[in-house]
Amino acid sequence: MTGLFAPRSIEELLSLLAGSGEHEKHFIAGGTDWLIKNRGNISEDAVLFDLSKIPELRGIENRGSYLRLGSMETMTSIHTDPEIRLHAAALCDAASSMGSVQIRNRATVGGNLANASPAADTPGALAALNASAVIFSPSGTKELSIEEVLGTCPNKNTLSDSDIIMEFRIPVRKSHVSAFKKIGSRSEVSIARINLAVSAKYEDGAFCDAMVFVGTLGTAAKRSPEAENALLMPISLRKEGFKKALCEFAGRMIPSRSTLPYKQSAIQALAEDVLEMLEARGRSLEKSGEKSHG
């Protein structure tokens, strides 16, 4: 018998979870992926939990050392938020380029990670920003990296079926810049063929502490240490080094896939664009004297 619950608090969700035993569980966030995947084939003994009425899963706030981002925040609420724009520009880029206005008004950041599509946009941005996901379950809460939630299997996260993504914690880091860009089949409302998210510390034109994640190469966020190292190169060699490193990285991740030549060409163009965005953001950060993550 399909069960459908709309808890009004985490506490209420907890008691419902305890009562749902071994039944197959579905947690519904914005519903944009869930409906397409599940409509018409929800198993008879499944129990559905609508997460849209739980206030603890909402909110964006600056807590000093990190931004707290509720998992039920939508792409629209994220890309229009001044704190996200200032301290997590890569996430702002990803949220504003995802889907159409209509989808951005419904799709949530928690749902985007949980759905674990390799072409998802926000997981790579969150990973590059060194964000963690706070996971709630009846046995307690734990903090996982984005890569730990995604694991290695496409379209499947590593969470157990009573785990809920409650919030993300995005470190607020001084002098850091970040950027995200994707290439799809058209300029808007497009699913990424490949995407790239980078954050780094910027000082006098040089980068350090870089984190580089590429999406669509198996999972939504694959870290590229070679591209991170390339960003440390002298400025005159940096652009070509970064492009070459990402090209080699794609070859290493999907060596036998037919789309590899396309992705290697596309990622070099993305690398140039993202590098330009990072440099421009770094310059404006220095100009404004505002030494916080932009």
Partner 1 sequence: MHIRLAMIVGVMFLKIELKINGKFRTAEVSASERLIDVLRQKFGLVSVKEGCGAGECGACTVIMDGEAVCSCVVPAFQADGHDILTVEGLEENGELDVIQQSFIDCDAVQCGFCTPGMIMSAKALLMKNPCPSREEIRTALAGNICRCTGYVQIIDAVETTAARIGVCRR
Q: How far is the CB of 102 from partner 1 (least distance, A)?
A: 4
Name which of 50 and 273 has its Cβ closer to partner 1: 50
Q: How far is the CB of 77 from partner 1 (least distance, A)?
A: 10
Of 40-48, 116-124, 154-162, 225-233: span binding partner 1 (CB under 8 A): 40-48
Name which of 103 and 232 has its Cβ closer to partner 1: 103
Contact 163, 135 (CB under 8 A): yes
Q: Which two tokens stand for residue 279?
A: 């440099």
4 binding partner 1? (CB under 8 A): yes
CA distance 173 to 205: 17
Q: How far is the CB of 231 from partner 1 (least distance, A)?
A: 31
Which positions ≥6 away from 105 have C-beta within 8 Å?
A: 74, 75, 76
Site map for partner 1, 67-86, x if CB under 8 A?
---------x----------
5 binding partner 1? (CB under 8 A): yes
For residue 142, what is the enclosing H or E element? strand 140-145
| Position among 8, 156, 174, 283 found at the interface with partner 1 (CB under 8 A) | 8
100 binding partner 1? (CB under 8 A): yes
Contact 179, 89 (CB under 8 A): yes
Return phi, psi of residue 278, to 5°. Answer: -65, -45
Of 36-44, 133-141, 160-168, 250-258: span binding partner 1 (CB under 8 A): 36-44
CA distance 130 to 146: 8
12 binding partner 1? (CB under 8 A): yes
Largest CA distance in the chain: 65
CA distance 76 to 106: 8
188 binding partner 1? (CB under 8 A): yes
Q: Which two tokens stand for residue 42?
A: 């929800």
Contact 250, 195 (CB under 8 A): no
Of 44-52, 124-132, 165-173, 224-232: span binding partner 1 (CB under 8 A): 44-52
Return phi, psi of residue 84, to 5°. Answer: -65, -45
Return phi, psi of residue 192, to 5°. Answer: -60, 130
Q: CA-based Rg of the chain, rounded to a whole angstrom?
A: 19
Q: How far is the CB of 159 from partner 1 (least distance, A)?
A: 21
Q: How far is the CB of 25 from partner 1 (least distance, A)?
A: 13
- DSSP assignment letter at 218: S
| Position among 17, 20, 25, 32 found at the interface with partner 1 (CB under 8 A) | 32
- DSSP assignment letter at 211: E
| Position among 10, 24, 52, 292 found at the interface with partner 1 (CB under 8 A) | 52
155 binding partner 1? (CB under 8 A): no
Binding site residues, partner 1, CB under 8 A: 1-8, 12, 15-16, 28, 31-32, 34-36, 38-40, 42, 44, 48, 50, 52-53, 76, 99-103, 105-106, 188-189
